[in-house]
Amino acid sequence: MKKTYHGSCHCGQVKFEVDLDLAAGTHKCNCSICSKHRLWQAMVAPSDIRFAQGESVLREYPFGSRLGVHLSCPVCGTHVLGRFEGELPDGKTVGVRLHSLDDLAPEDLLAAPVTVHDGIHNAYDRQPAEIRHL
């Protein structure tokens, strides 16, 4: 069941709300950018996100295949979202960085299923051998 969460960057330039079903699963990846930023995200449709402020100031960083674009605040650098396009099962999606959700209770996060992708080997359909560090 979807629940509305409120998110922001560290400095408050970017504020949004998102309708998210954590029971549908969350994702981590071991690629170089996800590892460096310790990204943990949940995927939603673009229509599930509404910006209160800051959408126009988001800085884009295309990575790898350029089908994924990481979105961060230009002031504090917080990665808040990722935009993914291409041949995805659910079409265009947005990755909500779970650390940017201000009202996400730790117990809700701990109860969410996690899928880990082997992005470092471009094998997003399988889990890497070691995931404890992610």
- Name the CATH code of domain 3-119 (choices 2.170.150.70, 2.60.40.1250, 1.10.10.10, 3.30.70.1290): 2.170.150.70
Say whether pTM exceeds 0.85: yes
CA 127/CA 120 separation, integer angstroms: 11
Predicted confidence (pLDDT) per residue in 64-80, tens digit: 665 678 999 999 999 99
Domain ranges in the chain are: 3-119
Q: Calculate what percentage of the chain has a pLDDT beyond 90.
A: 63
Amino acid at residue number 65 = S
